[in-house]
A and B are shown apart, each in its own frame.
Chain A
Amino acid sequence: MKHSDVVVVGAGIVGASIACGIARQGVRVVLLDKRKAESRASLGNFGLVWVQGKGQGARRYAEWCHQASREFPEFVRQLLDETGIDIQYRKPGGLVLSHGEEEYLKRVTVLERLRSESRDGTYDCEMLDRQAVQRLTPKLELGANIVGASYSPHDGYLNPLALLRAVHVSFRQQGGVYHADSPVKRICYEKDRFVITTPQGQHSAEKLVIAAGLATESLAAMVGINAPVIPERGQLMVSARVQPMLSIPVSGIQQTVEGSFIVGLSNEKIGINTDTDSAIIKRMASRVRNAFPALGGLRIVRTWASLRVLTPDGLPIYQQSEACPGAFAVTSHSGVTLTPLHMNQVPEWIMKDIVPAEFDNFSSRRFHVEAVA
């Protein structure tokens, strides 16, 4: 049996950043992970650090994401200092294109709603007309159908694979211990300690954090937390490298620092299924071409599908167990965007009980079915 202060289960970007943040406090952390990378959302995603449009009807979530975006540059600097790894973070702002008048008006409505729901009646995201959008993408002419876009200066992108690697390197540098081949089979709570059983042996710790993506629900249930998660498939495509043409992420289309274009424009509730669907890929390609006709010549070298980890209302869960205090469940589908908060505020909550105001809205109690008396 291996003893430590904290065990974190799940080493995707959410689990790894929480583990890293806790380790930075000088605490002994063990990070447990299954071996197969197959369904890891952190390996299949788009790499957006994205704020605009999030949190409609959920002001706290909009604020939580904005805070993350504000703290991102400092987080990136610290990670670079510690590990020497450049995660290619860029913050040029972000665009959501309107294909036609109807989409434009719909987007106006979204922004108005977010404005009215905000604390001070402002929402830093504006609608641009076609000319203004074209000025932001000077090397790529907009398709005829594009009438405008919403633009937020708070949006950006990075290399999500480099991010995951950098967080793991930082974790190891802080003295964290990572077990890469240790899927968790059972969790018991006895005498104020958690005993976690894996095929490779047992771990015990005072605190336990479950941030295991789609496995969070079943693991959290073992410590009395109800954390419902639903897989939502997103399909993506990546192209061969191209000379630089696009320096701002545009609704599901971005050009990486290496030069490849990545496209990610779909969502399907289809269970645990990471197959790609040619009809959907075709629709995505069509949309890309409508946005920028010159991208018709992009050579797509790979398509794939990844599973977003969603809760029933799309908002995160940050929940401490009542039955087993010291056990925490965390899940959020904005795993990349929220990384700075998962490195700082969330470890503070876990280790020092400093609860962010937003967490009222992120309790898993909101999913409890009222018992009929």
Chain B
Amino acid sequence: MSDEYDLIIVGAGPAGLAAAVTASRNALKTLLVDEQADPGGQIYRSIERALPENRSALGPDYFYGQKLLEDFRGSGADYLPETTVWNVDRELNIGLLTNGQAKQIRGKHILLSAGAMERPVPIPGWTLPGVMGAAAADILFKSSDMLPAGPVVLAGSGPLLLLVACRLIDNDVPLAAMVETSSARDYLRAIPYLPGAFRAYNYLLKGLSMRYKVLKARIPVFQGCRDLVVTGDEEADGLRFTCHGADQHVRASTVLLHEGVVPNLQFSRLAGCDHEWFASQRYWRPVIDKWGRTSLEGISVAGDASGIRGAKTAEAAGHLAGLDAACRMKHISDAERDRLAAPYLKAVTRERSIRPFLDHLFPPACQALVPPDDQTIVCRCEELTAGQIREAVALGALDPGQVKGYTRCGMGPCQGRMCGLTLSEIIASSASLPIESVGQLRVRAPLKPLTINQLADLEIFE
């Protein structure tokens, strides 16, 4: 492995894979690194070893990724799986950990395509064993051919909720109920965005067929639900909620929560890229141009890490970033780049057209953004509650770093990944400040822990 790559790509999901293919095709010396053992990111997780038994359950959208994987394997790009990226900076240094050895190398261009994560759903009881994100169940299915044994209760909102419901039904997992926090009112709000959506017809049909499957399986479905609470002592035993004023309690040994997906910003924030607030889905995303270039020279972002737009948009964005890198390295001219980019730009425009509809159909529930109950744990690692955070704000801490100093919120192993968004929302709400001005916790290296030995033996390549 040489130490001076033209392009270093972080994350082997659709965006990273596509960028690797296009960059290699244009003779860039390319390195793709990923934490997992297999390429594919989360959406095409374990696609190269997908079980034939699961073929129909996984469906055509999943196997669409197969061609991309094949193209990547044939691309000639260098690939480092099971590699943790622990540092990225504006000088384009990148810290890698492979096989217990830490090194730091420099790239001429870096593409951050680390995808997304589920928005954490802080409701009372969410730290009990047996509570997971809905996508977590899907990941278990793809990577380990497992699912919760059940009974399961699915709660929240978003396209993934229906998808996981169908996953469970297809595999005979008892699904005790679907508890939706979105309501008919959200459908009405989203309707105006429908006409502008290309292939909206397909999405609607897919959604309807999934709803029909849930209906046919006679799963109790509750809509417009509020005040969700996971019940149980040492582990989850069910979900309490109110629906149209009536209290409900559904018994389950697994509670799957979902309130949408948010970009993984660890890398772009660590490097120091500018970010902007995306109000309709309430998350920050890096400021980028159509090529994925950020505010920092030589650093680009593509795919869900730049904003949630799905796998097909991610793939097109990856190709665009690869072309842009090739142009920046003077392997192709501006005109060549623009010519080759045309179909991908069209694809991005097409795929993105469904987003306003989906974003307005599934806004994250208020309870998940600003937990009303003071007892709700916000920082799972340090076991800090919403009340403790509000107390710190009342003491005059208006900055996430100051609240962190007063409470320890964000100081645990996850370093703010699970509590950061909630922390900013609570400060904004309690102090009546616009969340854009509140900002976020600062992200620092190492992005994942390194031992003193690994740091002391760090190989730095200038």
Give the CA-CA distance A302 to B95 in the complex, in Å.
14
Cβ of B219 to closest chain A Cβ, rounded Å:
41
Give the CA-CA distance A300 to B104 in the complex, in Å.
16
Q: Give chain A interface residues in 229-244, CB to chain B under 8 Å.
A: 237-240
Give the CA-CA distance A11 to B104 in the complex, in Å.
38
Residue of B nearest to A288 (CB): B452
Given A299-B450, A299-B451, A304-B444, A35 contacting B398 (CB threshold 8 A)? yes
B residues less than 8 Å from A237 (CB atoms): 455
Residue of B nearest to A43 (CB): B405
Cβ of B376 to closest chain A Cβ, rounded Å:
22
Check B444 against A161 for contact (C-beta < 8 Å). Answer: no
Count of chain B residues near A, Cβ 8 A: 34
Check A302 against B396 for contact (C-beta < 8 Å). Answer: no
Give the CA-CA distance A279 to B87 in the complex, in Å.
13
A residues less than 8 Å from B139 (CB atoms): none
A residues less than 8 Å from B446 (CB atoms): 300-303
Answer yes or no: B453 CB below 8 A from chain A CBs.
Answer: yes
Give the CA-CA distance A358 to B415 in the complex, in Å.
43
A residues less than 8 Å from B232 (CB atoms): none
Query: Which of the residues A161, A181, A296, A303 comes within 8 Å of B453, measured between beta carbons?
Result: A296
Contact with B along A159-200 (1 / 0, CB 8 A): 001001100110010000011110000000000000000000
Of A42, A240, A281, A288, most buried by chain B (CB within 10 Å of CB) is A281
Chain A binding site: helix, strand, loop or mixed by DSSP?
mixed
Contact with A along B368-395 (1 / 0, CB 8 A): 0000000000000000000000001001
**Could you count the A-B residue pairs with CB atoms below 8 Å apart for me: how many are there?**
109
A residues less than 8 Å from B95 (CB atoms): 278
Give the CA-CA distance A288 to B95 in the complex, in Å.
21
A residues less than 8 Å from B87 (CB atoms): 278
Query: Which of the residues B93, B396, B401, B451 comes within 8 Å of A180, measured between beta carbons?
Result: B396
Cβ of B103 to closest chain A Cβ, rounded Å:
10
Check B455 against A281 for contact (C-beta < 8 Å). Answer: yes
Of B89, B392, B452, most buried by chain A (CB within 10 Å of CB) is B452
Check B451 against A37 for contact (C-beta < 8 Å). Answer: no
Answer yes or no: B397 CB below 8 A from chain A CBs.
Answer: yes
Contact with A along B394-428 (1 / 0, CB 8 A): 01111111100110100101010000000000000
Answer yes or no: A33 CB below 8 A from chain B CBs.
Answer: yes
A residues less than 8 Å from B399 (CB atoms): 35-38
Give the CA-CA distance A285 to B102 in the complex, in Å.
13
Q: Give chain A interface residues in 289-313, CB to chain B under 8 Å.
A: 289, 295-304
A residues less than 8 Å from B401 (CB atoms): 36-38, 40, 43
A residues less than 8 Å from B395 (CB atoms): 165, 168-169, 172, 178
Q: Give chain A interface residues in 246-297, CB to chain B under 8 Å.
A: 275-276, 278-279, 281-282, 284-286, 288-289, 295-297
Interface residue ranges, B against A (CB under 8 Å): 87, 89, 93, 95, 104, 392, 395-402, 405-406, 408, 411, 413, 415, 439, 442, 444-446, 449-453, 455-456, 458, 460
Interface residue ranges, A against B (CB under 8 Å): 11, 33, 35-38, 40, 42-43, 161, 164-165, 168-169, 172, 178-181, 237-240, 275-276, 278-279, 281-282, 284-286, 288-289, 295-304
